[in-house]
Structure 1
C-alpha cells in the first residue's frame, strides 16, 4: 500500500477469534466432540485468551483511547477514504479474487480488514491534529529531498533475450532487415515474462536493470535498436520506443505531496510518546 503504517503495530486476528476474546463466542456450551466427549466453549475461550489475550486487550484499549481522543478533537474517517485504501490493498494483491483468497486463508473478512483500516486512519488523523507544520519546514524538507520529487530519466524499452550469441546474431540480422521486433520477441525470446507481450519491459529508470543493459538502453535514441548486449541473463537485443528526460521538481507543483510525507514522518516519530502520554491521562483498569 502507498501509505506508511510503521507508526503503530496493527494486530489483525480472525474475526471469529476476536469475537471469542471479546466475550462474544458461540451460544453452544461446547465447540466440538471427540468420541462423544465435549470440548467446552469455555475451554476454547480460556486457551485463546491465554495465547492471544494480552495483545488483543492492549489493542482494544489503544483503540478505545483513539476513539475518545477523536471525539475530543473532532476528527473522523470517511467511508470513501476506507474504500480507497481497501482498493489499494486489492491492487497490491493483484485483484479482488486474490485478496479474498488471502483473507480466507488467514480467517479474515473484508469487514475486519476495513475496521483495521478505519482505526489506522483514525489514529493518524488524531495525532495529525496536534502537529503544526510551518511553510518553512515544508519548503526545507523539499530542498533536502528534491531529487525524490523530480522526474527521473527513463526509457521505454523492449528486448529479445537469447540464450547464446550465435542465435542472438541471427535474430539481430532479422531485426535489421526490418522484421517486426514484437513478432521476433514472441518467437525467439527466452524471457517468458515478456515474450508474449513482444518483449515489452515498460518504463525503466537507472538502477533497475543490469548495468550493461542500462548503459546500452540509455545510449539509444527513440526508435533505436542496440547491438547484442551480454548480461548474466544471456544476450539481449534492445529497442527503445520512447525516452523521458530528467526534470527537476518545482516546489509549488509537489507542495501537497511534500506536506503529506513530512506529516507522516512526524506521526511516525511521535506515536509512541503520544500513546504513552494518553495512557497516563486515562484511568485504565484491566480485569
Structure 2
C-alpha cells in the first residue's frame, strides 16, 4: 500500500472482473473465431470465473467491508484527493500520455484507476482512525531517521564518455578551446542514455556513481569542467552546472511529513490484522 506503480499493477485483477461482468451483460454468443470456429462467450466467462473468481470475490468483499467501516467512522475521500493521487501516478509514469498507454496495454480505463485510488485512500483513512501516534513517537522517529530527511549534497552533472584516452584528450582540448560541451557530447559520447541530451546525467548524490567519478564531480566548482577521469566504463569528461549543499533537516519544519510517514507505516503493518478482525465481525455469506 505504498508505491504507485505497484498499486497500478494490482489492478489487473479488477480488469479481469470487468471482462467477466461485461460478458455476463451481453447477448452475443461468441467472442472470437479461429478459422471460423467460435470461442463462445460462455467459455470465456467460465475460464475467467475459474481463474479469477475467488480472488475477485474476496476483493469485492474486502471493499464492501471498508465501505461499511467508512460509514461507521464517518470518513470519505474527496475528489481533490483522487485527482492529486491520479496526477502523482501519471507523473511517476512519465506523464499522462504514458500512463494512458500503460492502461490501454493492460485493458484498463482511467475510471478504473480512479476507483482503485478511491478505495486505496478510503482504506487508509478508515484504518488511520484507529492508529494513535504520540508527539513523542514522532520526535523519536525523526531522530532515528534524520539522515533520510535532510538535504544531501548534490550536483547537476553532465559527462562525455569516450572509449580511449587519446579521443578523450582531443575532446577535452576542444572544450578548452571554447567548443560547446553539449554539442561535443552529442557527437562524441558513447553513453547512449545521455548523449542526445548533451551528456546530462541529472542530479546525483554520493554513493550513486563510481567513486572516482564522484570525487571529480563533487570537487568541481559550478560551471567548471574536469580533467579526464578514468573508470571501468571508460574515460569521462565531467561538467557540473549546479551544486546543492548538504543541509540538516529541522524537525519543526517537517514534523507533519514525519507523522505522515509513520502513519503510512502503521497502516501497512496493521492492515492484515485489521482486515482479519473485521472479517470476523461481519456476517459474510458466499453463494
| Partner residue in 2 for 1:261 | 261
Counterpart CA distance in 2 for 1:227 and 1:253 is 40
Q: CA 1:279–1:186 in structure 2 vs 1: closer, same or farther (change >3 Å)?
A: same
For structure 2, the 5+ residue unaligned runs are none
For structure 1, the 5+ residue unaligned runs are none
Counterpart CA distance in 2 for 1:33 and 1:182 is 53
| Partner residue in 2 for 1:31 | 30
| Partner residue in 2 for 1:283 | 283
Counterpart CA distance in 2 for 1:217 and 1:150 is 21
Q: Is the 8 A contact 1:172 1:227 kept in 2?
A: yes
Greater shift, 132-141 or 240-249, is seen at 240-249
CA RMSD of aligned residues (A): 2.5
Greater shift, 210-219 or 176-185, is seen at 176-185
Q: Is the 8 A contact 1:12 1:116 kept in 2?
A: no
Greater shift, 233-242 or 263-272, is seen at 233-242
Greater shift, 187-196 or 29-38, is seen at 29-38
Q: CA 1:44–1:30 in structure 2 vs 1: closer, same or farther (change >3 Å)?
A: same
- Asked if residue 44 in structure 1 is aligned to residue 48 in structure 2, the reply is no
Counterpart CA distance in 1 for 2:5 and 2:280 is 24
Q: Deviations over 1:114-166 (max 9, x none)?
A: 11111111001100111121111111000000000000011122211111100
Counterpart CA distance in 1 for 2:210 and 2:12 is 39
What does residue range 215-226 of structure 1 map to in structure 2 within 5 Å?
215-226=215-226
| Partner residue in 2 for 1:191 | 191
| Partner residue in 1 for 2:241 | 241
- Give the TM-score of the pair, scaled to structure 2: 0.90
Q: Deviations over 1:251-279 (max 9, x none)?
A: 01111110100000000110000000000
| Partner residue in 2 for 1:79 | 79
Q: Is the 8 A contact 1:10 1:116 kept in 2?
A: no
Alignment size in residue pairs: 285
Please state how far the C-alpha of 1:218 moved relative to its aligned partner. 1.0
Counterpart CA distance in 2 for 1:36 and 1:210 is 60
Q: CA 1:211–1:142 in structure 2 vs 1: closer, same or farther (change >3 Å)?
A: same
Greater shift, 48-57 or 27-36, is seen at 27-36
Greater shift, 211-220 or 139-148, is seen at 211-220
Q: Is the 8 A contact 1:31 1:40 kept in 2?
A: yes
- Give the TM-score of the pair, scaled to structure 1: 0.90
Counterpart CA distance in 2 for 1:242 and 1:27 is 60
What does residue range 1-287 of structure 1 map to in structure 2 within 5 Å?
3=3, 10-13=10-13, 15=15, 17-19=16-18, 21=20, 25-28=24-27, 30-32=29-31, 40-287=40-287
